[in-house]
Amino acid sequence: MIEIKNVNFRYAGLDQAGLNNFNLSVADGECVLLCGASGCGKTTVTRLINGLIPHFFKGELSGEVYVNNLEIKQQELYNLAGIVGSVFQNPRSQFFSVDTDGEIVFGPENIGLEKGEILSRKEQVVRELNLKGLLERSLFDLSGGEKQKIACASVAALLPNIIILDEPSSNLDWAAIRDLRVSMQLWKSQGKTIIISEHRLWYLKDVIDRAVYMEKGCIIKQWTKDEFFALTENELKAYELRPVLLEERYIQQFSNDSIPADTGPISRDIQPVLDDSSEVLELSNFYFTYTPPKYLFIKKKITPEDEEICDLRIPSLKIHQGNIVGVIGNNGSGKSTFLRCLCGLEKTCIGTLKVSGKIYRGRQLTKVCYMVMQDVNHQLFTNSVLSEVLLSMEHPDENEAEKILMSLDLDEYKEKHPMALSGGQKQRVAIASAIAAKAQILLFDEPTSGLDYRHMCEVADLLKKLAVDGKTIFVSTHDPELIALCCDRVIRITDGHVTEVI
């Protein structure tokens, strides 16, 4: 039983969404979805329930929050550990141990349970969540999906009645999201209460009982499960939520290797520009391996004949200039490797790229290609947006830089620190520096993970605009909606091979 009464909350010193006179009650065993645009306060609600507010995030709090008749304010976080479990967004930063076994028993060890009890819980959780294959592994070697599974297990081992998930699917591929759904269904069948805050909605169809829509720290609307999934595409769009049914259909289509004939081509807002007169970029011999054969100190240089051992094997690929190419595939299939090789970050990759008659290889690729990384924080170096753009220019020119910022709607932030901006704005700063560096080919590594519908549409519009300006774009993504919105072509990477989808 969760009871939130008349809560007002404002973060101290943080520019994050607070709550205004917020009321919510959740019955035992209920599964509630919190949805709404980023900044609507849904993460704040999850923090009220797991006690991170007020014990971890400080701020002005009024009102009352009860969980199982305990007032959160008067509890210590460690008392709540066995009652409320939390799974967070970023799988990389939420584990404490280095090995999987240690991580699963971490919670129960902390609260000082008996050893026998802990071991039997561990066994139970491993059995229920089917984790046998992941035991005795280093967490640093696991994929995002596997890490998230271990995070779920670690939380479940505390046997909480309530489980909170805060955008758990952001960094996962479709297969991993389906696994996450299985875990949630299991918890539901065990009678646990689940609160989930999420942008991706398709996988929650058979899980949730109620959907709560929030705006600016208030609840605007609530639906039952049936009402919610009966909403039409346009109604969902009006609430700036992702289209549930559409997403699911795409995913089914993209997940299979063969496209079912009866579904026909995917509807698109734009027609592919496959003008034969436009220039063609030619990728050839993109072969690369992370584990080249070694002779003590010297690594063997690979050739196309070494295909078998390669992690990436693309003999040839032709792309029209100005196209937007969607790159799909499961995590670990070679998507990121492909992008890394293409922008010259893997110097042992032997591939060459032919642009306007010039051939680029190895490190030279960094001159024509630019990648906007998934964690864009890594590529912001200076202390103002303007200087960030100037840094990329061979001959710094402020007028030119301001023009670029203007075209990306960033001019009003030019004196701000890039790290003080929102995720989408940071992305645009990275794009601005790519344009300033005169990159012709832009690579995007999952630009929409963790974005809400409106921001996703903004990204799509931006990509289209860049394509019109003559940039060729590769975008790796797990969001089918993004592909439908802007991609001219879709390639799938499986096991390092490229196959064409559309």
Q: Does 162 bind another protein (CB under 8 A)?
A: no
Which of the residues 325 through 344 are near another protein (CB under 8 A)?
Answer: 340, 343-344
Query: Which of 417, 422, 469, 470 is close enough to bind another protein by CB under 8 A?
Result: 417
CB of 408 to another protein, least distance (A): 17
Query: Which of 74, 260, 296, 305 is close enough to bind another protein by CB under 8 A?
Result: 296
Distance (Å, rounded) from C-alpha 332 to C-alpha 343?
A: 18
Query: Which of 245, 246, 345, 502 is close enough to bind another protein by CB under 8 A?
Result: 345
Peptide bond into 54 cis (omega under 30): yes
Rounded to whole angstroms, what are the CA distances from 217 to 20, 30, 211?
5, 22, 16
Residue type, 143: S
Nearer to another protein by C-beta: 157 or 485? 157
CB of 383 to another protein, least distance (A): 5
Two tokens at 155? 């939380």
- Residue 346's contacts (CB-CB under 8 Å, 6 or more residues apart) are 288, 337, 340
Q: Does 110 bind another protein (CB under 8 A)?
A: yes
Print the binding letters for residues 60-99 with another protein: x by CB under 8 A, - otherwise.
----------------xxxxxxx-xxx-x-x-xxxxxxxx
Two tokens at 134? 């992941």
CB of 213 to another protein, least distance (A): 25
Print the binding letters for residues 167-206 with another protein: x by CB under 8 A, - otherwise.
----------------------------------------
Through-space distance between the first and last CA atoms of the chain, rounded to whole angstroms: 49
Which of the residues 46 through 65 are near another protein (CB under 8 A)?
Answer: 50-52, 55-56, 58
Nearer to another protein by C-beta: 243 or 351? 351
Nearer to another protein by C-beta: 277 or 358? 358
Q: Does 248 bind another protein (CB under 8 A)?
A: no
How does DSSP classify residue 10? E
Distance (Å, rounded) from C-alpha 353 to C-alpha 365?
A: 8
How many positions of this chain bind another protein (CB under 8 A)? 84
CB of 79 to another protein, least distance (A): 8
Nearer to another protein by C-beta: 321 or 433? 433
Which of the residues 116 through 155 are near another protein (CB under 8 A)?
Answer: 118-119, 122, 136-138, 140-141, 151, 154-155
CB distance 138 to 99 below 8 Å: yes
CB distance 460 to 447 below 8 Å: no
Which neighbouring-strand residues pair with 99?
138
Rounded to whole angstroms, what are the CA distances from 88 to 112, 124, 148, 184, 356?
24, 22, 9, 14, 46
Q: Three-state SS across 380-440? A: CCCCCHHHHHHHHCCCCCHHHHHHHHHHCCCHHHCCCCHHHCCHHHHHHHHHHHHHHCCCC
Which of the residues 346 through 375 are near another protein (CB under 8 A)?
Answer: 363, 366, 370-371, 373, 375
Q: Does 380 bind another protein (CB under 8 A)?
A: yes
Two tokens at 370? 């630019």
CB of 221 to another protein, least distance (A): 29
Nearer to another protein by C-beta: 21 or 110? 110
Question: Quick one: which segment of 216-224, 289-297, 454-462, 474-482 binds another protein (CB under 8 A)?
Answer: 289-297
